[in-house]
Amino acid sequence: MTKTVRSITDIPQAALDAFSCGEEKLDSYVQKHAKKNHKSGVGKTFVLVNEDGLVLGFYTISMASIEFNDLPEKLKKGMPRYPVPTARIGRLAIDLKYQGKKLGGALLLDALKRIHEACQSVAAFAVIVDAKNDKAKAFYSHYEFESYADDPLALFLPMSTINSLFETAS
């Protein structure tokens, strides 16, 4: 099965309406709000589709920041005492029919690659994620994301780790 990641603006509404990951908020977002947010610059959404145009999954990325005081102690040394620039993976979901097939990891890797490429021109210290639950936290933890701040579901991955991944791969 051939799969490609495309901008949400290239995806027909009917294909988005057929998407269901089992989380109503994520389904509603991709079906009703993601295209508008993509066009307005609030968040860029990318969609994994198969050769038949079926939506297998999606993610949304944007720029963000975290407060200096929320940084893990081990990372505070040498950092400015004002909000630190980051990139955010705001949403990542796989259709129920395709869960358990390692597509989430493939989408995460695609998101990190896009962020890595953007960070050749725009500064970000880390990628942050607000995991929706413990299952999502376990998914991101498998890829070396760590908790920060007081919320155990607030996760980050330093850009230095991401840069090493893609610079080694080139």
Active-site positions read 140
Q: Which amino acid appears at position 37 of this protein? A: N
Structure tokens at 17: 């309406």
Which residues, other chains included, contact 105 with Cβ-Cβ below 8 Å and sequence gap of 6+?
A: 143
Per the CB < 8 A criterion, the answer to whether 104 and 57 are in contact is: yes
